[in-house]
Every structure is written in C-alpha cells, then in structure tokens.
C-alpha cells in the first residue's frame, strides 16, 4: 500500500475505518436545514453545495448548524441508503455525534489543518477514527 | 469513563436489555467528548415524530419498547408533525399519519408524556439553578442553560430517551463549569428591541457570525428588563443560526450578576466585543430577497406561541380578514390553546381566517414540501428568525418581518 499523499490529524472520532470520495464544504451543515432527507441532496437555496448529494461521500463541514433533528435523521437516511460514509466536522455539536453513533456512521471533530486548504471535492480519502487521521489517498481525476 | 457499581451492573444487563443498550449508547457518546462520568438528571424532553424518525426511527422505538424500556424520570415530547384535526385539510399522507399514531402509542407505552410542545420551559417544567436535565429541541436547551441556570447539552431524541431510561447523562459540554463561561461581549445599548422579531434578528446577527456550540455570548446594555418571550426568540435564533447552547445577560440571567461573573471571574484581556444596534437590525430586514413579492404564506410558529403571544396576535387580527389566497398559520401547545380558547383569544384569529394548529410546529409538518408545491407557495413570511432559518431544505424563500408587519402582509396580501 502506497503512503498517503497527505494526513490530517483529528481531535475526536468515532466509528470504523472508511474510504470514499471527499465532499468538501465551505459552509456548515444541518440535516434539517439543508438536506432533502428523501433524496440525499443538499436543497437549501443558496447553500454552497446546493444540488450535490451526500450519499456515500466523506463529508467535510467546518461547522454544525442547528438543530436537534440529526439525532434521528442520520439513522433514517442510513436506512434509506442515502447516508454519507463519514462526517468530518471542524466544530460539531452533540446532536451530530449522538445521531452518528446511533446510526453507526463514523464522525470526527477538530482537525490539524483546514481540509479546504488540502482536499478537493472528488479526492479519495480514508478516515481512520481509531488513529484519529484522515488520509488523502488519490487526487480527483 | 468511571462508572459506578450500579452503572456497571446496568451495562452488564442486570436491569434489562433496554437499559443496557441505552447506557452503552451514552457511554459511547460520552467517550467521544471525553466525559469522565455519568451524572443524574431529573427531567428529559425529547423530539420524536414520524417526519424525523422515519420508518427506521419508529422501528427503533418499537424495539426499545418491546425490550422493556421505561422512563425512570419524567420525560415530555417536543412538537410533532401532525395535528390530526388538520391532517386531511393539509393533504397529509394518511399512511404517515397512522404511523404518527403508532409513534405516540409507543412513546406512551414507555411512560413518556406526549405533551407535543417545544416550549416546555414556559408551559411544563422550569428547572432550578444548577439542576441537570436532558433536553432536546435546541431552543429548550439554550433557555434551560441561560435563563434558568440549569445544565443540559443539546440532547437529540435518542439521547434524551436514553437519559430517561437510565436516569443519567454523560458529563460533558454545558454540564461542566468551563464551558459555561462567556466567550465574547455583545452590547445592545443601541438597540430598541420593540418586537419579538428584533430579538430574533439579534440572535441571527450574533449566531451567524460565531457559529459554535461552545461560543457563549454575554449581552450587556439592555435598556429594560426583557420578557420571557423575548428571551425565547433570542435563544431560539442563537441556537439556530449559531448552534449555540448558552448565553448570559448581565443583570438578567442567574449566572451573570456582573460582567466578570459571566466570564467566570474576570473579562479576559482582548475579549471580543461587538455591538448590535437599530441600524444592524434594520439591515437584517432589508436583506431579504422578496422574489416576485409572493405574500401567500405567513407563519407564526417555530417556536410555538405562548399565551401572551396569542393574546397579542388575537388583538392584531381582531376585526380583520386574511387576504384572499393567503394562508396564515399559528401553532402552539394544547395547554396554551386551551387557555386561549377559554379566554376568548382564538375566536378573533379563526374569524380572520387564521389556521390554529395544536401540538405541531410548521417547519416539521409531514408532507410540507408537497404542500408547498400544491399551494404554489414561494415565500414564507414570519416573525420568527428561527423558522426563517430552519425551513430552507423545503425550498422556501424566507423573510423575517415584525409581528404587526406580518399581520399587515397577511391581511393585505402585499409584501414589503
């Protein structure tokens, strides 16, 4: 296995190791405010990721917005097959963590450098919660 | 995490599988945040309705109930997504409404009080200074921490339910003194704050620019003592735009007898100071895109209205009619609406053509997106900064206006 192109250290993390395509957001996230929980698309008018899907992505959000809904909503979108593979937050709130743990979706908080400076949407990354690391494996084609 | 002997027995299944699962879940959440222990809580408040639960959530609740889950402390429910008296008129899905009844029955079977209100802090339970609770709906949390000086984190549905089943919650976040200290100053001496929407606008300005659960604004310079409804709209907006769980207001909230006390002893050198004045609040109102000026939906909801808000609205709508083609919604709890009915406040609203919904909040209504498409609503006008922020995923263009302006828009059909 070749060495990662870049490694971001994380402060806190839960869940198993996952790999997937990065979705890197300039804007925070709430499943209630921003997400169509039937399609997995970001639908809030004017959201920086409006029209994009979170399904099977590794989502990087600088902040969490709102909202108590994530507690149930993550479990709901996982059952509907439209969940991301992991949530990586700069700053999150307890609801996101409670929701991700209930749903068994990896979630992390805090990073050694801002992913927006290092990663681009479409890059292939691995999240390793036990080692508290995000590894950049391949650049987007 | 350090667990007591009893907690270890719970984790071993000595008090049943439901308790074991609930505690194991809490330990995992606590571990994420580095909690050292679990602490007892006296009251819980949970969100649980079919719109947010989905079939998976309903399945989870039924499984927990079948495993013998039962609340060991009082636990109440937040606003839900169906007022059964209105479901047909609103075109809500009969299948989902039937599931909502199953949700309610399942919650009641676990000894949960299905009160269906997001203003429990005004209508149901007022914890005292230092009391630990496990409350969900962010507006309830920020009010508990700030105005009562009680201690809670944002506890989402499964977390509040787990707290009720075990009688405990992990000690992190706002349970710890360190996170309750102020982090920046907000001077309101230049703000008139004559309407609830103005308080929401302050919450938007402060919250949006400081998005962090652990940012704790310290408000100073109030021109008069604020009312509970004003603190409610401020808190709901701070929690919504900023994801904040606590604020201090010097001379008003119990942990802020002085600026120094609000910061935990002394104001740190270089602490950020900002001011919100009338000009900044006017800029919020001016900043909304009105689109083609669609004025067919005006909403008073999110948070549910107190009896005082209903009384005020009743006076504003008395003798008037909602404009043809415009829909107006008011939502509150059974308790508030029962009192409002008895006191004669609902009749003027209903005679004006306002839809008064019980036990729900507008933004979580089951089938809201199809309802918007069917009615052709493009804009949503409200005096609540929270709902203006929170309803976005349903593709509304949203506009904050003062209470009397909302009534004027509703009765004239003209949006300005």
pLDDT of residue B393: 72
Q: Which of B25, B33, B54 to mutate to test the interface with A (most CBs of A within 10 A)?
A: B54
pLDDT of residue A29: 86
Give A20→chain B minimum CA distance, Å: 23
Of B29, B47, B389, the CB nearest to A97: B29
Residue A45 belongs to a domain:
yes
Q: B47-77 burial string, b = 16+ CB within 10 Å, else e?
A: bbbbbbbbebbbebbeebbeeebebebbbbb
Number of domains in chain A: 1
All residues at 6 or more sequence positions from A123 whose CB lies less than 8 Å from its CB, including other chains: A21, A22, A24, A136, A138, A139, A140
How confident is residue A32, by pLDDT bands cut at 50, 70 and 90?
confident
Domain holding A80: CATH number? 3.50.30.10
As a whole number, the mean pLDDT across chain A is: 92
- Domain end point (choices B239, B264, B285): B285
Q: Report the DSSP beta bridge partners of residue B275.
A: B187
Token digits of residue A79: 């059952």
Of B157, B211, B395, the CB nearest to A72: B157
pLDDT of residue A113: 95
All residues at 6 or more sequence positions from B44 whose CB lies less than 8 Å from its CB, including other chains: B71, B73, B74, B75, B76, B133, B134, B135, B155, B160, B161, B163, B164
Task: Tell whether B161 and B246 lie within a shared domain.
Answer: no
How confident is residue A1, by pLDDT bands cut at 50, 70 and 90?
low
The answer to whether residue A25 scores a pLDDT higher than 70 is yes
> Using a CB-CB distance cutoff of 8 angstroms, which residues of chain A are in contact with residue B211?
28, 63, 65, 91
Determine the average pLDDT of the residues in A94-122: 96
> Using a CB-CB distance cutoff of 8 angstroms, which residues of chain A are in contact with residue B243?
28, 63-67, 93
Task: Tell whether B142 and B256 lie within a shared domain.
Answer: no
Answer whether B32 sits within 8 Å of A28, measured CB to CB.
no
> What is B332-368 written as a DSSP string?
E-HHHHHHHHHTT-HHHHHHHT-EEEESB-GGG-TTH
- Domain end point (choices B177, B204, B222): B177
Secondary structure of chain A: what % helix, strand, coil (to 5)?
Answer: 15, 35, 45
pLDDT of residue A47: 83
> Using a CB-CB distance cutoff of 8 angstroms, which residues of chain A are in contact with residue B159?
71, 94-95, 98
Answer whether A68 sits within 8 Å of B154, measured CB to CB.
yes
Domain holding B317: CATH number? 3.30.499.10
Domain containing A44: what range?
A: 6-138
- Domain end point (choices B123, B155, B177): B177
Residue A1 belongs to a domain:
no
Of B213, B245, B390, the CB nearest to A32: B390
Token digits of residue B79: 């606003």
Pairing relation of β-strands B355-358 and B272-275? unpaired
Domain containing B229: what range?
A: 181-285
The answer to whether residue A33 scores a pLDDT higher than 80 is no
Answer whether B211 sits within 8 Å of A78, measured CB to CB.
no
> Using a CB-CB distance cutoff of 8 angstroms, which residues of chain A are in contact with residue B213?
64, 91-94
Name the strands in the sheet holding B355-358, side by side, starting at the edge strand that comes first in the sequence. B355-358, B327-332, B297-300, B379-382, B397-400
Tell me if residue B185 falls in helix, strand or coil.
strand
Check if the interface score ipTM surpasses 0.90.
yes
Closest residue in B to A45 (Cα–Cα): B395
The answer to whether residue A66 scores a pLDDT higher than 80 is no
pLDDT per residue, tens digit, chain B (416 aa), is 999 999 999 999 999 999 999 999 999 999 999 999 999 999 999 999 999 999 999 999 999 999 999 999 999 999 999 999 999 999 999 999 999 999 999 999 999 999 999 999 999 999 999 999 999 999 999 999 999 999 999 999 999 999 999 999 999 999 999 999 999 999 999 999 999 999 999 999 999 999 999 999 999 999 999 999 999 999 999 999 999 999 999 999 999 999 999 999 999 999 999 999 999 999 999 999 999 999 999 999 999 999 999 999 999 999 999 999 999 999 999 999 999 999 999 999 999 999 999 999 999 999 999 999 999 999 999 999 999 998 877 889 999 999 999 999 999 999 98
- E strands present in B74-158: 75-77, 134-135
Interface of A with B (CB under 8 A): 12-14, 28, 32-37, 43-45, 47, 63-73, 75-76, 78-80, 91-95, 97-99, 101-102, 107, 109
Closest residue in A to B368 (Cα–Cα): A36
Task: Tell whether B162 and B52 lie within a shared domain.
Answer: yes
Give B338→chain A minimum CA distance, Å: 27
Closest residue in A to B245 (Cα–Cα): A93
Of B25, B214, B395, the CB nearest to A101: B25
Token digits of residue B169: 């919650």
Answer whether A71 sits within 8 Å of B156, measured CB to CB.
yes
Number of domains in chain B: 3
Of residues A30 and B53, the one with the higher pLDDT is: B53
Task: Tell whether B9 and B136 lie within a shared domain.
Answer: yes
Task: Tell whether B53 and B170 lie within a shared domain.
Answer: yes
Which DSSP helix (H) or strand (E) runs through A18? strand A18-24
Answer whether B47 sits within 8 Å of A32, measured CB to CB.
no
All residues at 6 or more sequence positions from B47 whose CB lies less than 8 Å from its CB, including other chains: A68, A69, A71, A72, B77, B78, B136, B137, B156, B157, B160
Cβ A64 vs Cβ B213: under 8 Å: yes
pLDDT of residue B358: 98
Task: Tell whether B199 and B348 lie within a shared domain.
Answer: no
């Amino acid at each position: 296995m070749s060495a990662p192109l870049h490694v971001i250290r994380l402060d806190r993390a839960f869940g198993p190791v996952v790999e997937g395509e990065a979705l890197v957001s300039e804007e925070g996230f709430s499943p209630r405010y921003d997400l169509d929980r039937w399609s997995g698309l970001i639908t809030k008018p004017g959201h920086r990721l409006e029209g994009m899907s979170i399904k099977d992505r590794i989502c990087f959000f600088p902040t969490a917005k709102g909202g108590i809904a994530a507690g149930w909503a993550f479990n709901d979108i996982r059952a509907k097959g439209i969940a991301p593979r992991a949530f990586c937050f700069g700053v999150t709130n307890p609801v996101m963590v409670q929701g991700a743990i209930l749903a068994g979706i990896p979630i992390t908080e805090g990073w050694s450098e801002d992913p927006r400076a290092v990663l681009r949407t479409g890059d292939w990354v691995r999240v390793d919660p036990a080692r508290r690391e995000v590894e950049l494996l391949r650049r987007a084609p | 995490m350090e667990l007591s002997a009893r907690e270890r027995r719970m984790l071993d299944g000595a008090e049943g599988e439901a308790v074991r699962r609930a505690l194991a879940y809490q330990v995992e959440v606590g571990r994420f945040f580095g909690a050292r222990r679990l602490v007892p809580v006296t009251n819980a408040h949970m969100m649980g309705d079919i719109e947010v639960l989905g079939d998976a959530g309903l399945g989870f609740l039924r499984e927990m109930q079948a495993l013998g889950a039962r609340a060991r402390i009082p636990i109440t429910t937040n606003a839900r997504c169906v007022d059964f008296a209105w479901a047909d008129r609103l075109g809500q899905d009969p299948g989902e409404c039937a599931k909502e009844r199953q949700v309610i029955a399942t919650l009641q079977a676990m000894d949960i009080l299905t009160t269906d209100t997001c203003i429990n802090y005004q209508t149901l339970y007022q914890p005292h200074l230092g009391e630990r609770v496990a409350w969900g709906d962010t507006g309830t949390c920020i009010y508990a921490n700030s105005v009562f000086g009680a201690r809670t984190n944002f506890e989402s549905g499964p977390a509040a339910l787990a707290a009720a089943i075990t009688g405990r919650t992990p000690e992190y976040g706002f349970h710890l003194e360190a996170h309750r200290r102020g982090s920046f100053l907000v001077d309101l001496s230049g703000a008139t704050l004559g309407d609830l929407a103005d308080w929401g606008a302050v919450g938007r300005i402060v919250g949006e620019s400081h998005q962090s659960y652990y940012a704790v604004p310290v408000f100073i310079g109030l021109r008069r003592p604020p009312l509970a409804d004003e603190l409610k709209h401020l808190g709901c907006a701070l929690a919504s735009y900023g994801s904040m769980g606590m604020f201090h207001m010097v001379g008003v909230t119990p942990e802020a007898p002085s600026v120094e006390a609000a910061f935990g002893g002394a104001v740190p050198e270089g602490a950020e100071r900002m001011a919100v004045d009338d000009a900044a609040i006017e800029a919020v109102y001016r900043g909304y895109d009105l689109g083609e000026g669609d004025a067919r939906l005006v909403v008073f909801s999110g948070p549910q209205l107190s009896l005082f808000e209903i009384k005020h609205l009743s006076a504003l709508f008395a003798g008037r009619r909602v404009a043809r083609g415009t829909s107006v919604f008011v939502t509150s709890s059974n308790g508030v609406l029962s009192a409002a009915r008895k006191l004669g406040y609902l009749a003027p609203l209903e005679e004006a053509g306002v839809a008064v919904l019980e036990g729900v909040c507008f933004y979580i209504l089951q089938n809201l997106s199809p309802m918007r498409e069917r009615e052709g609503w493009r804009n949503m006008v409200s005096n609540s900064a929270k709902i203006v922020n929170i309803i976005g995923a349903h593709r509304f263009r949203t506009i904050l206006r003062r209470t009397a302006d909302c009534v004027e828009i509703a009765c004239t059909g003209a949006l300005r």
